[in-house]
Amino acid sequence: MNILILGSGGREHAFAWKLAQSDKCTHLYIAPGNAGTSAFGTNVDCSPTDFIGVKKIVLDHEITMVVVGPEDPLVKGIHDFFLGDEELKRVAVIGPQRDGAQLEGSKDFSKQFMIRHNIPTARYETFTKETLAEGLLFLETLSPPYVLKADGLAAGKGVMIPTNLADAKMELTEMLANAKFGNASAKVVIEEFLKGIELSVFVLTDGNSYKILPAAKDYKRIGEQDTGLNTGGMGAISPVPFADEAFIKKVEERVIIPTINGLKAEGIIYKGFIFIGLMNVDGEPQVIEYNVRMGDPETEVVIPRIKSDLLDLFSGVACGNLNEKTFEVDSRFATAVMLVSGGYPEDYHKGKVISGLDKVVGSIAFHAGTLKESRDKNQESREETIVTNGGRVIAVTSYGETMEEALTKSFANAERINYEGKYYRRDIGEDLKVYYS
Ligand code: AMP
Ligand code: GLY
């Protein structure tokens, strides 16, 4: 089977690494991919939201399955595009159609969905420019900190958590009256602040049955001890000590089953991943958000812990017989430490030469923002180098019988890889050590 993966991050490198291990995988294509994905298939220069370009790749290379990495093409309706096209309608697409993708594409839709299906989540109200005055009054009924969320996709930047009322009012006004996030903040969800420990639970579903994938903890802030700006994620750990069997059972009964049943009841055919952002509030799960894709860097620890054939699971999603597929999880820990470019998540440089990838031992270097470049070595010959091409550059993933063992390997290899401006958090997993002492 020829497969096309859409995306260019560590998540897509991890998908490529895993799918390439399947006997049923004939050839992989990745659009646009990165320097890491090219070790497992052919990178094709095409944006995941260029549907016409994607169609051409599918037809040119007789692709029969498309795995959609990021949310953008899903929210824009790539799956619907395939179903509506005579030449593409039989191609399997892993990822929901536009209606299901609203779970991530609209915070207001996802909150309403949770309320309709009795799924535990923070109390909220939604406001528009026309109801700004009511929104300002609603803020007065809450206690700090305040949680303000732009309704639409805002590249992970649309959630603001001001700590005092004056800032919250200013922020709401900026978002609604001054379109701080453009059309994405035409509606704003204001919700209660949940106090607890955050984790991510991932589900793969064919719309009826589902597999609960290993849970993971992400480290979102740029600075150690969770300080500074939010990023896409600076590291990840799986399993999560405070997500024990009893907690996951609660998540399954109160969140996963009502979500799958809710989608079905609303006539939404959902084939793909559901990423449930959760707060563990004194042992009780509360949903912070849904995403309609895998997380990054969570994928770089979740996928390595899946022992079963991922392509076989994806075929189950496409054919509607996921319940017949075996699903086995590796009991070892997996840890990922993300190497980023100096300055990230604000301005940073690209094109810095990366060295030391060949010195990595005992870890997997999943490439995020990297690019293969051909440069003049001397007048006669050229050499291929790998350069930085994004804020998040490489996720260093390791296995261990204990979390510490896995982390020790990830940190050791994080030191072996070098480029100008390299930065990573040295405290990944630090907060979880109390659970193992
Ligand atoms: P989201 O984009 O919805 O994942 O929100 C970004 C981050 O804001 C989350 O990962 C949480 O850390 C935080 N957050 C969102 N909603 C809440 C909430 N109701 N209470 C506390 N923290 C929240
Ligand atoms: N790491 C968080 C995300 O992928 O949204």
Q: What is the CATH number of the domain that holds 306?
A: 3.30.470.20
**341 and 312 together in one domain:** no
Please indicate, yes or no, if residue 210 is contained in any of the structural domains: yes
Residue 376 has pLDDT above 80, yes or no: no
Residues 204 and 286 placed together within one structural domain of the fold: yes
C-alpha distances in Å from residue 266, one per residue of 73, 77, 260, 297? 22, 18, 10, 31
Instruction: Check whether 180 has a pLDDT greater than 90.
Output: no
Q: Is residue 186 over pLDDT 90? A: no
pLDDT of residue 368: 97
**Cα–Cα distance measured from residue 414 to residue 412, given in angstroms and rounded to the nearest whole number:** 5
pLDDT value, residue 177: 80
Q: What is the pLDDT of residue 153?
A: 86
Question: Of 150, 169, 191, which closes a domain?
Answer: 191
Mean pLDDT over 59-76 rounds to 98
Is residue 208 located within the same domain as residue 291? yes
The Cα–Cα gap between 172 and 191 comes to 12
Tell me which H or E stretch contains 413: helix 403-416
Ligand 2 mean position, distance from CA 295 (Å): 4
CB 35 within 8 A of CB 18: no
Q: Which pLDDT band, with edges at 50, 70 and 90, does 395 fall under?
A: very high
pLDDT at 44 over 90: yes
In a domain, 90, yes or no: yes
- The dihedral through the CA atoms of 88, 93, 96, 101 has a sign that is negative
Assess contact for 234 and 426: CB atoms under 8 A.
Answer: no
Indicate which CATH number applies to the domain containing 169: 3.30.1490.20
Q: Is the pLDDT of residue 181 over 90?
A: no
The predicted pLDDT at position 175 comes to 87
What average pLDDT does the chain have? 95
Reported confidence tier of residue 402, pLDDT bands at 50, 70, 90: very high
Residue whose Cα lies nearest atom 6 of ligand 1: it is 159
Residue 104 · residue 71 · CB < 8 Å = yes
Q: Measured from the CB, is residue 296 less than 6 Å from ligand 2?
A: yes
Given this model, what pLDDT does residue 176 score? 86
Mutate to test the pocket of ligand 1, among 221, 289, 290, 431 (most ligand atoms within 8 A of CB): 289
- pLDDT tens for each residue of 302-320: 999 999 999 999 999 999 9
Burial of 402 (0-12, 13-18, 19+ CB in 10 A): exposed
Q: Is the CB of 304 under 6 A from ligand 2?
A: no
Instruction: Identify whether 345 is preceded by a cis peptide bond (ω within 30 of 0).
Output: yes
pTM of the model: 0.95
- Residue 397's domain is classified under what CATH number? 3.90.600.10
Q: Are residues 294 and 207 in the same domain?
A: yes
Which distant-in-sequence residues (6+ apart) come within 8 Å of 282 by Cβ?
Answer: 196
Q: What is the pLDDT of residue 125?
A: 87
Mean pLDDT (whole number) for 263-292: 97
Q: Which ligand is nearest to the CA of 233?
A: 2
Q: What is the mean pLDDT of residues 390-409?
A: 98
Both 415 and 311 in one domain: the answer is no
What pLDDT shows up at residue 224? 97
- Among 153, 181, 190, 288, residue to substitute to test ligand 1 (most atoms within 8 Å of Cβ): 288
Given this model, what pLDDT does residue 136 score? Answer: 93
Tens of pLDDT along 74-94? Answer: 999 999 999 999 999 999 999
Chosen domain end from 307, 324, 341: 324
* Residues 393, 429 share a domain: yes
What ligand has the least distance to the C-alpha of 104?
A: 1
Average pLDDT over residues 165-169: 92
Determine the pLDDT at residue 87: 97
Give the pLDDT confidence score for residue 386 in this predicted structure: 96
DSSP 241: T
CA–CA gap between residue 101 and residue 423 (Å, rounded): 34
- Ligand 2 centroid–CA 398 distance in Å is 19
Which atom of ligand 2 lies closest to the CA of 291?
5
For residue 112, pLDDT beyond 90: yes
Q: Is the pLDDT of residue 337 over 90?
A: yes
- Same structural domain, 187 and 202: no
pLDDT bucket at 291, cuts 50 / 70 / 90: very high
Higher-confidence residue: 248 or 185? 248
Contact 393, 339 (CB under 8 A): yes
* Domain annotation covers residue 106: no
- Closest residue (by CA) to atom 9 of ligand 1? 288
In this prediction, residue 192 carries a pLDDT of: 93
User: Phi/psi at 38 (nearest 5 deg)?
Assistant: -70, -15
Question: What is the pLDDT averaged over residues 158-181?
Answer: 88
Reported as type and span, the H/E element at residue 259 is helix 257-265
Q: Which residue's alpha carbon is nearest to atom 2 within ligand 2?
A: 295
Statement: residue 437 has pLDDT above 90: no
- Res 379 pLDDT > 80: no
Number of structural domains, the chain? 4
Residue 345 has a pLDDT of: 92
For the record, the structure tokens of 107 come out as 């915070």
Percent helix, strand, coil in the chain (nearest 5)?
A: 35, 30, 40
DSSP category for residue 355: B
- CB atoms inside a 10 Å sphere around CB 125: 17
Pairing of strands 333-341, 422-423: antiparallel
From 161, 193, 220, give the residue whose CB has the most ligand 1 atoms within 8 Å, as the site to mutate. Answer: 161
Task: Tell me what pLDDT residue 377 has.
Answer: 75
Residues 359 and 353 sit within 8 Å (Cβ to Cβ): no
Asked whether residue 215 falls in the same domain as residue 318, the answer is yes
159 lines ligand 1 (CB under 6 A): yes
Pocket mutation for ligand 1, best pick of 159, 193, 195, 282 (most atoms within 8 Å of C-beta): 159
Write down the residue that tokens 């009841």 correspond to. 265
Bond prior to 70 in cis (omega within 30° of 0):
no
Residue 108 lies in a domain: no
- Domain hosting residue 140, numbered range: 123-191
pLDDT (tens digit, 9 = 90+) per residue, 207-235? 999 999 999 999 999 999 999 988 999 99
Q: Are 383 and 375 in contact (CB under 8 A)?
A: yes
The verdict on residue 113 lying in a domain is no
Q: Where is mean pLDDT largest: 126-140, 150-164, 370-384? A: 126-140
Whether residue 158 sits in one domain with residue 42: no
Four-point Cα dihedral 231, 234, 236, 240, nearest 10: -70
Give the integer Cα–Cα distance in Å for 51 and 39: 25
Q: At residue 432, does pLDDT exceed 90?
A: yes
pLDDT digits (tens, 9 = 90+) for 16-36: 999 999 999 999 999 999 999
